[in-house]
Amino acid sequence: MASKFLRKIGSLFRVPIITSILRWSWRLLPVLVMMDIGYLIGIWPDWELYSEGPVQRSSFIRSYEFEQHRHADWPRLRWNPVPIATIPHSVVRAVIVAEDARFYEHEGVDIEALKDAMEYNLSQKKLIYGASTISQQTVKNIFLSPSRNPLRKWHELVLTIGMERNLSKERILEQYLNVAEFGRGLYGVDAAARYYWGIPASALTSSQAVELAATLPSPTRNNPKTRTRSFQNRVKKIRRYF
């Protein structure tokens, strides 16, 4: 009897409560949209600072410096930005092959890659591949955080469009090659070249360039030092294009 009574009471309040929640959600939506627009305006970069001159310290680098104080086992930060003119073409080519084959064809978002990734993930019933372009990864590294949430992806998309309209493809590559993580505390190709092989980025061979590119999906786990099976398989895939 008690359970029947509770079900009747619940049925009386269920619809009005849901209706009330929906009504308030619609009222709050414009407020949330305006707050997000305000946030984007607040973080919107001065693109002139990024279109030329020295590469700026990225959000990920600043985050590493902050977190390093709480992790005694983390190595010191290694970061030495260099002009793209001093980076061998083989490094640029290897990174494009590994991360964004249609880099010069899209305007920040690769719709074809996104579609392919979604179809594959659906077929496997789990998230295996993403489809972030080099432009999107550059924006994430420089301005945003590693957090995974819909708002961060939305901000990444808006900032990517802004960057593509204000920076040349070569400058975007220069930014990316100098802020991408290549291992714990290793940011940029020059720091990585000096750590793994004891040479500047300008002296990297084609084989070393491929190995650097192979670290990019998960650099702290798969890199030229650990030489995991996953790393070696990725090296073989990239070498097919050399």
Query: Domain residue spans in the chain?
Result: 1-43, 48-239
The predicted structure's pLDDT at residue 3: 54
Token pair listed for 187: 């940011």
| Tokens 């890199």 -> residue | 223
| Tokens 């996953």 -> residue | 230
- pLDDT tens-digit profile of 120-143? 445 444 444 456 999 999 999 999
Backbone phi and psi for residue 69, each to the nearest 5 degrees, phi listed first: -65, -20
CA-nearest of 139, 62, 126 to 100 is: 139
CA-nearest of 154, 109, 117, 152 to 133 is: 109
CA angle (95 as vertex; 91, 100 as ends), nearest 5:
150
| Tokens 């030229």 -> residue | 224
CATH superfamily of 48-239: Biosynthetic peptidoglycan transglycosylase-like (1.10.3810.10)
Query: Which residues share a beta bridge with 238?
Result: none
Q: How many CB atoms lie within 10 A of CB 49?
A: 10
Can you tell me the distance from the alpha carbon of 220 to that of 188, in angstroms, rounded to the nearest whole number?
Answer: 14
- pLDDT tens-digit profile of 158-175? 999 999 999 999 999 999
CA-nearest of 107, 122, 96 to 209 is: 96
Question: Quick check: 86 pLDDT over 80?
Answer: yes
Token pair listed for 126: 């789990």
The predicted structure's pLDDT at residue 42: 74
Are residues 202 and 86 in contact, defined by beta-carbon separation less than 8 angstroms?
yes
- pLDDT tens-digit profile of 22-36? 565 666 667 666 776
Classify 184 as helix, strand or coil.
Answer: coil
